[in-house]
Amino acid sequence: MNSHASTLKNITKSLFNLSAIALVSLSMSTAQADETCLSPYMPKIKGQEDFVYIWTLGVEGLGDEQDKMVTVDVNPKSNQYGKVINSLSVGGRNEAHHSDFTDDRQYLWASGLDTNKIFIFDVHTDPAKPTLQKTITDFVAKSGGIVGPHSTYALPGRIVITGLSNNKDHGGRTALVEYTNDGEYIATHWMPTDGDLQGAIKTGKYADGYGYDVRVLPNSNVMLSSSFTGWSNYMMDFGKMLADPEAMKRFGNTVVQWDLHTKQPKKVFDVPGAPLEIRCAWETGHNYCFTTTALTSKIWLLYEDNKGEWQAKDVADIGEPSKIPLPVDISIQSNDKILWVNTFMDGKSRAFDISDPFKPHQVFEQKIGAQLNMVSSSWDGQRIYYTSSLLANWDKKGADNEQFFKAFHWDGKKLTQDFAIDFTKEKLGRAHQMRFGAYSLYPSKAADVSSNAAPKS
């Protein structure tokens, strides 16, 4: 340590001998955390977000029928607060699903689970009005047959994309695919199967090779992936699938631990019943993540034990599992105290106290709508946003097919609705993934806006 300190002294000495420029705020430099579900490599919005970008599915017979990136102004100080301020149609219905930023937060990658297109939006030139920069149309061909690009998760200078399916049988066996931030294909990392575990340890009974979400804990060199189902199922009518016993056998039952640095699978854990979203704790030393199983309605903890080994454990039920409430999106508070869990079938958002990650217990629930999918929290946990759509053919039918974006604030005890936008009435479509934008991420833009900002009337 002494020799390191002495080198650092030399570096800083040469640094300060050369310049009299004042020490600037550390927060101006590389930030390592973000709104609660984003990659740790990304700059974050610490204060009030200005925009929510909503990746929206087109609906036959509604408006222009195609997928679109919808921008809603969510800054209470804006005179456009609570309004749709931009809608960018991308052509076709692609089964718009998830979106996420590059690590520099300059671009938003939004993927289509059906057509395998990846739409890359410029969100930095004008954060109020994303523009389509590039569309990747050859994802399947480039990746060696991976279908259903899902999570687009930022690593330094690159994006890791989880697949859900493949072009051979449209089943669940799939891979992780890496792209550069420029949209160039890098590599395909197949999920471990019994046929080729790739050196991973099958800790239980399953190694199905399925994929869904991905998250990383860089300080532990850990990447975790979850598992859902293949194209045939996620594209099929929900009711038809429930009535098809063979189809119901095609769900993922695994979480895979990867070596983040080498992208090699290390362990395959049994997590039965379709583990979907993964959210990792933020605080230093909190080496654990959560996932929830859609079909079996449980919270699972993925954690590093005191021997440095990663383990998986089911730690709580969500609602009454026998009724299949269908937990979908989850969101962890940045202080690692609360995990929000949405359940699609009953339209409820539930808060679990996860202060003890081994003993989550529900402390709050509220019905948000007839159906409910995504939940996104501001970094300070005070603003919670919801959308309605799960998958085009899984959403409820008839009057229960509510399509909305709703903004709430959370005071630690109750949720109070600030505003709601009816996506059907606005002729937009099915509201799905949300990501935040803010002028504060782009210092030069922030300066522009502060001089022109119109006060809220």
Show contacts with other proteins in window 51-90 (CB under 8 A).
none
In the bound complex, what is the minimum distance in angstroms from residue 137's beta carbon to other proteins? 5
In the bound complex, what is the minimum distance in angstroms from residue 345's beta carbon to other proteins? 7
Three-class secondary structure of residue 16 per DSSP: helix
In the bound complex, what is the minimum distance in angstroms from residue 446's beta carbon to other proteins? 9
In the bound complex, what is the minimum distance in angstroms from residue 443's beta carbon to other proteins? 5
In the bound complex, what is the minimum distance in angstroms from residue 103's beta carbon to other proteins? 7
Site for other proteins, residues 414 to 443, rule: CB under 8 A: 442-443
- Considering the rule CB under 8 A, would residue 367 count as an interface residue with other proteins? no
- Considering the rule CB under 8 A, would residue 454 count as an interface residue with other proteins? no
- Considering the rule CB under 8 A, would residue 1 count as an interface residue with other proteins? yes
In the bound complex, what is the minimum distance in angstroms from residue 262's beta carbon to other proteins? 3
Q: Which stretch binds other proteins (CB under 8 A): 78-86, 101-109, 413-421, 430-438?
A: 101-109
Site for other proteins, residues 378 to 397, rule: CB under 8 A: 392-397
Q: Are 393 and 237 a contacting pair, CB within 8 Å?
A: yes
- Considering the rule CB under 8 A, would residue 402 count as an interface residue with other proteins? no
Per-residue binding string, other proteins, 313-352, x by CB under 8 A, is: --------xx-x--------------------x-------
Q: Which of 67, 114, 277, 426: binder of other proteins (CB under 8 A)?
A: 114
Site for other proteins, residues 225 to 264, rule: CB under 8 A: 231-232, 234-240, 242-251, 253, 259, 261-264
- Considering the rule CB under 8 A, would residue 277 count as an interface residue with other proteins? no
Burial code (b: 16+ CB inside 10 Å, e: under 16) for 133-155 equals: beebeebbebbebbbbbbbbbbb
User: Count of CB atoms within 10 A of residue 27's CB?
Assistant: 10
Q: Are 138 and 165 a contacting pair, CB within 8 Å?
A: no
Residues in contact with 87: Cβ distance below 8 Å, sequence separation at least 6, in sequence order: 68, 69, 70, 71, 428
**Residue linked to tokens 């709580």:** 316
Is the Cβ of residue 207 or residue 276 nearer to other proteins in the bound state?
207
- DSSP letters for 32-87: ---STTS-TTS----S---EEEEEEE--TTSTT-S-EEEEEE--TTSTTTTSEEEE
Secondary structure, 3-state, 94-148: CCEEEEEECCCCCEEEEEECCCCCEEEEECCCCCCCCEEEEEECCHHHHHCCEEC
- Considering the rule CB under 8 A, would residue 172 count as an interface residue with other proteins? yes
How far is the CA of 186 from the CAs of 101, 150, 173, in angstroms?
18, 17, 20
Which among 260, 185, 172 is positioned nearest to 211, based on CA atoms?
172
The helix (run of H) or strand (run of E) holding residue 197 is none
Q: Which tokens is 253 given?
A: 């039952």
In the bound complex, what is the minimum distance in angstroms from residue 203's beta carbon to other proteins? 12
Per-residue binding string, other proteins, 180-209, x by CB under 8 A, is: xxx-x-xx--x--xxxxxxx-----xxxxx
Is the Cβ of residue 215 or residue 351 nearer to other proteins in the bound state?
215
Is the Cβ of residue 278 or residue 384 nearer to other proteins in the bound state?
278
Site for other proteins, residues 129 to 158, rule: CB under 8 A: 137-138, 140-141, 144-145, 156-158
Dist. CA 53–CA 447, nearest whole Å: 22
- Considering the rule CB under 8 A, would residue 307 count as an interface residue with other proteins? no
In the bound complex, what is the minimum distance in angstroms from residue 384's beta carbon to other proteins? 24
- Considering the rule CB under 8 A, would residue 173 count as an interface residue with other proteins? yes
Burial of 353 (0-12, 13-18, 19+ CB in 10 A): middle
**Residue linked to tokens 């001089």:** 451
- Considering the rule CB under 8 A, would residue 218 count as an interface residue with other proteins? yes
Is the Cβ of residue 22 or residue 411 nearer to other proteins in the bound state?
22
Q: Which stretch binds other proteins (CB under 8 A): 67-75, 172-180, 377-385, 425-433?
A: 172-180
# residues near other proteins by CB under 8 A: 127
